[in-house]
């Protein structure tokens, strides 16, 4: 029996102590025109709250001069930190890079194109204080094209809600507030930033949403088109699997294998009877091929299940990742009162 530490995110806390109240993380990819007013707007919204803060702008390989503008702003202001990536990785890695260097106890994310309104930050913070781990913005009056953006997004939100069990009106809104220990527990890959609430839910977070403002893009253009709908659906499969079977993959592959093997065997027995009891020829029957296919698929799925069980153990044990999350411990904690 092996025990894992129940106090999560210790590693990242050692590297990055939570010294500030708030970190605002903004991914920037070719947003040169917006940058100066964006930083101003965030700073003035956050100053209202009297919290200690930092603004982390992650330049995701911009080619329009955003990098120089960001470097200049970060030099002039001591509340702005620029993280400049080597090339364009995409919004998810850019956000992950921002999370990695964030020092706030609370992390706010928003887009760098001024479509989200930084003036909403205090409202999100107030909601978080009510006892949530994640508060998501809901662009109730969204200012994007109806057919190419709003409709696919409506369908996607409904689907994601169904599959993940986290019913939010607007998954796509980047304006969100998180408790930083939650962010440290979530691993981001691909384009999974859209599923952060679902990932948070897998980690046992309390989630809420509030309506926020949304403006039409004033500068530059959107980095996404219709193509993302298909990617969202693919990601949905991943999330669904992770939510349900991450720690027990054998239950899904093994079950499939068992059903396939049983069906194949039943057909095989039936054909054997026909051959030996009724003395009929079975060599040219399509059922024979089906039986062989089902038995083989069954064995393969079963073996695949075993392999994924091993992978899952490696995933958790190699990084000492617990299979549960402790919210807090109440009462006397004996581990802190060791008598010498």
Task: Name beta bridge partners: 22.
Answer: 53, 106
Q: State residue 220 phi and psi, 5-degree precision.
A: 60, -170
Beta carbon of residue 70, minimum distance to ligand UDP (angstroms, whole number): 12
Cα–Cα distance measured from residue 62 to residue 68, given in angstroms and rounded to the nearest whole number: 10
Count CB neighbours of 335 within 10 A: 8
- Provide the 8-state DSSP code for 337: -
CA distance 256 to 42: 51
Q: Which residue lies nearer to ligand UDP by CB, 111 or 209?
A: 111
Residue 175's φ and ψ, nearest 5 degrees, are: -70, 105
Asked if 245 is part of the footprint of ligand UDP (rule: CB under 6 A), the reply reads no
Residues 6+ positions from 90 with CB-CB distance below 8 Å: 60, 191
* 115 binds Mg ion, rule: CB under 5 A: yes
Binding residues among 78-137 for ligand UDP as defined by CB under 6 A: 88, 90-91, 94, 111-113, 115
Which of 222, 243, 58, 85 shows the shortest CA–CA distance to 153? 222
148 binds ligand UDP (CB under 6 A): no
Residue 170 interacts with ligand UDP (CB under 6 A)? no
Applying CB under 5 A, the span of 79-87, 103-111, 265-273, 284-292 interacting with Mg ion comes to: 103-111
- Asked if 31 is part of the footprint of Mg ion (rule: CB under 5 A), the reply reads no
Number of Cβ within a 10 Å radius of residue 11: 12
Q: Interface with Mg ion by CB under 5 A: which range of 7-15, 105-113, 204-212, 277-285?
A: 105-113
Structure tokens at 238: 């991943």
C-beta of 60 vs 185, nearer to ligand UDP: 60
Q: What's the token pair of residue 232? A: 């969202």
In the list 12, 22, 29, 195, the residue contacting ligand UDP (rule: CB under 6 A) is 29
Is the CB of 95 or the CB of 291 nearer to ligand UDP? 95
Does 71 bind ligand UDP (CB under 6 A)? Our answer is no
In the complex, the residues that contact ligand UDP under the rule CB under 6 A are: 27-29, 31, 60, 88, 90-91, 94, 111-113, 115, 222-224
In the complex, the residues that contact Mg ion under the rule CB under 5 A are: 111, 113, 115
């Amino acid at each position: 029996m092996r025990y894992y530490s129940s106090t999560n995110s210790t590693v990242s806390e050692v590297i990055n102590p939570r010294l500030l109240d708030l970190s605002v993380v903004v991914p920037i990819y070719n947003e040169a025109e917006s940058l100066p007013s964006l930083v101003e707007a965030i700073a003035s919204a956050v100053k209202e709250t009297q919290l200690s803060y930092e603004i982390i702008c992650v330049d995701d390989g911009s080619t329009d001069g955003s990098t120089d503008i960001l470097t200049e702003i970060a030099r002039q202001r001591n509340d702005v930190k620029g993280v400049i990536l080597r090339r364009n990785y995409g919004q998810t890695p850019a956000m992950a890079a921002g999370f990695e260097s964030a020092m706030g106890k609370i992390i706010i994310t928003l887009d760098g194109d001024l479509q989200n309104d930084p003036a909403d930050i205090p409202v999100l913070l107030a909601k978080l204080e009510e006892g949530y781990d994640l508060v998501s913005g809901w662009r109730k009056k969204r200012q994007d094209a109806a057919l190419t953006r709003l409709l696919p997004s409506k369908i996607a939100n409904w689907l994601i809600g169904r599959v993940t069990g986290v019913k939010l009106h607007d998954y796509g809104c980047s304006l969100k507030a998180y408790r930083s220990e939650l962010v440290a527990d979530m691993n981001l890959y691909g384009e999974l930033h859209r599923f952060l609430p679902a990932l948070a839910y897998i980690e046992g977070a309390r989630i809420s949403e509030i309506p926020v403002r949304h403006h039409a893009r004033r500068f530059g253009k959107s980095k996404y088109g219709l193509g993302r709908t298909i990617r969202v659906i693919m990601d949905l499969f991943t999330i669904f699997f992770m939510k349900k079977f991450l720690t027990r993959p054998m239950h899904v592959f093994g079950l499939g294998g068992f059903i396939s093997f049983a069906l194949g065997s039943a057909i095989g027995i039936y054909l054997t009877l026909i051959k030996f009891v009724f003395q009929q020829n079975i060599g040219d029957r399509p059922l024979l091929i089906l039986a062989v296919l089902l038995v083989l698929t069954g064995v393969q799925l079963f073996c695949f299940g075993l392999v994924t069980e091993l992978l899952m153990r490696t995933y958790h044990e190699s990084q000492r990742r617990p299979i549960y999350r402790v919210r807090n411990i109440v009462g006397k904690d004996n581990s802190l009162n060791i008598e010498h």
